[in-house]
Amino acid sequence: MNKGDKRRNRRKFRVRYDRIAAGVLLLAIVAVVVSSCVKGLTKGSDKPEKEKKQSTASDTAEPETSTSAADAQDTTDAAEPQETTEAVTTEPEKEEDPFYNTEKHEHDDIYTGNLVLVNAQNEYHFPENDTVLGLLSENINEYYHSSDNVKKLDMEVIEHLNSMMEAYALEEEISDSYLYVSDCFRTYADQEDKHSSGNSIFAPGHSDYHTGRTFDLVSMGEDSVIKAFAPVDEYAWFYDNAERFGFVTRFPEEKSEFTGEVARANTYRYVGVPHAAYMNANNLCMDEYIDMLKEHTKEKAIKFRTGDYNYTIYYVPAEAEGATEVPVPKNASYKVSGNNVDGFIVTYATGSEE
């Protein structure tokens, strides 16, 4: 092999090496391109996946949000009564009255009691629980009499009438008063007869005798002559002492404009000791007194002393419908009476040391 051939062979070898280098370079470029494409595809596929995840998360969250809102609404609705309850419980509690309780009286209770006013304007309702009627002939004592065997009065009234007649006999040192109860309780029919015959100006239902607390007295001497009773002369004691036993003159002098009846000194009505004493001390007939009491509620109660006791008297208006809560003392003896008009009268006594 000559030198020329060696050069050609050497030149040929170099060309092959260059080609190999070019091929390697080409492969490297292809690899870079392929790698870039793969990365691009990977990024593209990641985006939908993320969007899918976000969409899934959003779809999943939506019902949770809706449920949460509904729950919140339910919670608010459920909380509303609680808020009302809290408002009630947070209101300041009423302080307990240290002296008074309350007791409920039904509206019809205004028609019962020792202070029911019966006249031309106020009809008596004959309530079953108002009085317990008893025959005078079976219950009176030896110091007075009944004009017949059918006369009746309320048993409480008979008790106080017995006490008054006994006191009169003992204090005046007599054995017999010669006094008779000539008229007392009247039924509706009794009053109807008296009214229609002209013996009473009051229509049936409007006579105070219906109450069983009103009666007339007459006197009969040893000569059997009936005389009209009057609290004078031998009977002057009654003028000063009838109130001690709870009795007042029902139709006193100069009060016809209030009572609607001519004055009669022999008609008595039981009202109770403090009321009788107050009426006499203030020159009031029963009609005036019941009307005047409406000005004296518990806050403006009448304070009155008679005998050994201090009395407190006040008026409580009745509710138009249903029961009325009437304040009564916790630690004192008391009575509640209707006035037969529109309310109740509370009376209680405290001892002489008060």
Return the HEC string of 106-155. Answer: CHHHHHCCCCCCCCCCCCCCCCCCCCCEEEHHHHCCCCCEECCCCCEEEH
pLDDT value at residue 40: 52
pLDDT value at residue 335: 97
pLDDT value at residue 313: 98
Place of tokens 């006040």: 314
pLDDT value at residue 352: 62
Q: Which helix (H) or strand (E) holds 72?
A: helix 3-89
In sequence order, the 6+-apart residues with CB closer than 8 A to the CB of 1 are: none
311, β-bridge pairs: 304, 349
Looking at residue 233, what DSSP letter applies?
A: G
pLDDT value at residue 73: 45
DSSP reduced 3-state for 269:
strand
**pTM of the model as a whole:** 0.73
Place of tokens 């004078």: 232
pLDDT value at residue 228: 85
Task: Quote the tokens at residue 28.
Answer: 């490297």
pLDDT value at residue 33: 57
Per-residue model confidence as pLDDT tens for the chain (354 residues) = 444 444 444 444 444 555 655 665 666 676 665 566 555 545 444 444 444 444 444 444 343 434 444 444 444 444 444 444 455 555 566 678 899 999 999 999 999 999 999 999 999 999 999 999 999 999 999 999 999 999 999 999 999 999 999 999 999 999 999 999 999 999 999 999 999 999 999 999 999 999 999 999 999 887 888 988 999 999 999 999 999 999 999 999 999 999 999 999 999 999 999 999 999 999 999 999 999 999 999 999 999 999 999 999 999 999 999 999 999 999 999 999 999 999 999 999 998 643
pLDDT value at residue 330: 95
Strand order in the sheet with 343-350: 302-306, 309-317, 343-350, 333-338
Q: Which fold has domain 100-115+283-354?
A: Phosphorylase Kinase; domain 1 (3.30.200)
Domain boundary assignment for the chain:
1-47, 100-115+283-354, 119-270
pLDDT value at residue 34: 57
> What does the buried/exposed string (b/e) look like for 15-39 if buried means 16 or more CB atoms within 10 Å of the residue's CB?
eeeeeeeeeeeeeeeeeeeeeeeee
pLDDT value at residue 351: 81
Q: How far apart are CA 118 and CA 101, in angstroms?
A: 30
Q: What is the CATH number of domain 119-270?
A: 3.30.1380.10
In 10 A of CB 339, how many CB atoms?
A: 24
Q: Are 316 and 300 in contact (CB under 8 A)?
A: no
pLDDT value at residue 17: 56
